[in-house]
Amino acid sequence: MTLGDILLQAAQKDLAGVMKGKIAYTEFVVDGKFEIKLRSLTDKEAYIECSVPDKGTEEEKNYLRLYFLSMVFNAAIHSTKRLKNKK
């Protein structure tokens, strides 16, 4: 099981929101770039994506997956802070 498989399984089970967010995780290669996208199925404007040139190595893909996880983590912290400030 690769890191990509773990991320896909986590999104399918929606472990963080218990099926509230209805999120979809996709990895694909397009125009010579390896891309990762996490998007909401209920809100079309809510998504996080990143890409890196595809050289075919699993090491580079894992680097992008880790970078992507840091983006998701930072977005979660930012939204939590915004929620606190509103209350």
Give pLDDT, residue 19: 56
pTM: 0.70
Contacts of 33 (CB under 8 A, 6+ apart): 51, 52, 53, 54
Q: What are the boundaries of each domain within the chain?
A: 3-86
Give pLDDT, residue 6: 77
Reference 48, options 28, 29, 73, 31; nearest CA is 73
Give pLDDT, residue 30: 92
Contacts of 11 (CB under 8 A, 6+ apart): 23, 24, 25, 38
Give pLDDT, residue 42: 81
Q: What is the tens place of the pLDDT at every residue in 20-66? A: 657 888 889 999 999 999 888 888 888 888 888 888 888 888 888 88
Separation of alpha carbons 23 and 47, rounded Å: 9
- The three-state secondary structure class of 34 is strand
Give pLDDT, residue 16: 55
Give pLDDT, residue 14: 64
Separation of alpha carbons 68 and 76, rounded Å: 12
